């Protein structure tokens, strides 16, 4: 089973961040420009929250707020679940499913080291399952 470290080795360690005082509209522009569904909110180099498309939909649109006048701090998720390099993808999937989150920042030595999404987790699990299937097929056929 792949680990967070292995997934990040393949996809890279880039994390898109935003400051807490940035207007939500600007954050949305950044997400659209980078084609990502979430931004890690950082203040003085420290992770303080996560802003997702879901936060925007539920805390701006549905509450009649203006995305140009609302700072990221007002709508970001403050309770952010994080993982480490050595966590396995099945563990990440369980954490995401149980907590209904789609993004997990990766912390190593209390520093932001990456971000994995539900798409990354699903892809890794499918690849692992495909490898297992191929190995079983080779075993059944008696080939190595």
Both tokens of 144, joined, read 């190595």
Per residue in 28-85, pLDDT tens? 999 999 999 999 999 999 999 999 999 999 999 888 899 999 999 999 999 999 999 9
pLDDT (tens digit per residue) in 82-130 = 999 999 999 999 999 999 999 999 999 989 999 999 999 999 999 988 8
Task: Kindly give, in sequence order, each residue whose CB lies less than 8 Å from that of residue 112, ignoring residues fewer than 6 positions away.
Answer: 15, 17, 40, 42, 47, 105, 106
**pTM, rounded to two decimals:** 0.87
What pLDDT shows up at residue 134? 86
Regarding predicted confidence, which is higher, 99 or 132? 99
Domains of the chain: 4-141 (3.10.580.10)
Cα separation, 70 vs 142, in Å, equals 63
């Amino acid at each position: 089973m792949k680990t967070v470290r292995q997934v990040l080795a393949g996809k890279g360690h880039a994390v898109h961040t935003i400051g807490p005082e940035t207007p939500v509209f600007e954050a949305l522009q950044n997400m659209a420009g980078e084609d990502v569904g979430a931004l890690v909110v950082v203040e003085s180099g420290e992770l303080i929250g996560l802003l997702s498309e879901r936060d925007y939909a539920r805390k701006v649109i549905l509450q009649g707020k203006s995305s140009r006048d609302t700072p990221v701090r007002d709508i970001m998720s403050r309770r952010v679940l994080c993982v480490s390099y050595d966590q396995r993808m099945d563990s990440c999937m369980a954490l995401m499913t149980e907590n209904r989150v789609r993004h997990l920042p990766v912390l190593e030595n209390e520093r932001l080291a990456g971000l994995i999404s539900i798409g990354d987790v699903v892809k890794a699990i499918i690849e692992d399952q495909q490898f297992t299937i191929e190995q079983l097929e080779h075993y059944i056929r008696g080939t190595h």
